[in-house]
Amino acid sequence: MSTLPTFADVQAAARRLEGIVIRTPLLENARVNAKLGGRLFIKAECLQRTGSFKIRGAYNFLASMSEADRKKGAVGWSSGNHAQGLAEAGRLLGVKTTIVMPADAPALKVANTRASGAEVVLYDRVKESREEIGTAIAQRTGATIVPPYDHPWILTGQGTAGLELAEQAKALGVTLDAVAAPCSGGGLSTGVALGVKGIMPNATAHAGEPAGFDDLARSLASGNKEKNAKLSGSICDALLAPEPGDVTFPLAQKVLGPGLVVTDDEVLDAMEVAFREFKIVVEPGGAVALAAALTGKLPVKGRAVAVVCSGGNVDHATFQRALQRHKA
């Protein structure tokens, strides 16, 4: 891609999304701050429509399409949150949506996607290619493919969460030293970096990933696109993209600092802290940036740091696992 998305593109997306998405709160907790020795803010995108940030990019994409293309429908593939965001955006804009989802996606995410009116096509994420299935549907129906992350309309839509975050921090009289967001293919982390840096250019921005699926962190370190060895195996089901995107990676090289990598146990601990101290429900993939801050991999001491908790669509059993980790 010759021209990378800019802060102005994020601002344009914010205008399209005005009145559609929730301006989610920026949360702070005195006990957590005292323990970390700095100020930690959470952008609670788990409270967004459909329970995650994904409606931002999906709605911005559909709203940017021509009327003629919208009438032909949209096709997407997702483990769950992009599915729900695209389905709901389609419902709001009157666009027929078909979503290709892995058969092992959380049942709650599949049910919610169908509840917004989307047709769901299930596949085996180890043996089948969601891209091939979705592309075949698009070719047969004339529908437009709406990728989960690797498109300027998607990542600038996601970037509106960063724009809001920086505006909210500024309203509190806070200048952020660093911001971090969860990362699968890089749409949210690069978008948030654009949105924050447009207001606070000196803030560093980082992507959080689960151990074993840290393709972006390794790619940023090597300067080349690196792939994950496995396609599944982390509790963070939303963050298992095999490699960085063709659009997101060059932007990541420009706007992101070193990657942050956390374990599944650290993620479960972060989910528990989010519930106990911040009173929010965060899914595993949504908690990786918070986990990085709580473990010191993203230093908070003496600084003002913000993290995006990107989604709250977690099944009961997994959430129970997290809550049981608390030691009174």
CA distance 240 to 44: 22
Name the burial class of residue 274, with classes exposed (0-12), middle (13-18) and buried (19+) by CB atoms within 10 angstroms of its CB. Answer: buried
Beta carbons of 232 and 130 less than 8 angstroms apart: no
Mark whether 116 is an active-site residue.
no
**Residue 181 to residue 186: CA distance in whole angstroms:** 9
* Dist CA 301 CA 35 (whole Å): 9
CB neighbours of 120 closer than 8 A, spacing ≥ 6?
A: 83, 98, 99, 101, 110, 113, 114
181 CB-contact burial (10 Å; exposed 0-12 / middle 13-18 / buried 19+): buried
109 among known catalytic residues: no
Which position among 43, 52, 54, 109 bears the catalytic label? 54
- Distance, in Å, from the CA atom of 31 to the CA atom of 219, rounded to the nearest integer, reads 36
| 282/311 Cα distance (integer angstroms) | 6
d(CA 59, CA 18): 11
Q: Which residues pair with 98 in a beta bridge?
A: 75, 119
Residue recorded with tokens 């699968």: 184
Distance, CA of 150 to chain centre: 12
**Residue 188 and residue 149 in contact, taking contact as beta carbons nearer than 8 Å:** yes
Question: How many C-beta atoms surround the C-beta of residue 131 within 10 A?
Answer: 12
Q: Is-contact 16 252, C-beta < 8 A?
A: no
Catalytic pick among 78, 116, 184, 310:
310
Question: In this structure, how many other beta carbons lie within 10 angstroms of the beta carbon of residue 111?
Answer: 11
Catalytic residues: 54, 310
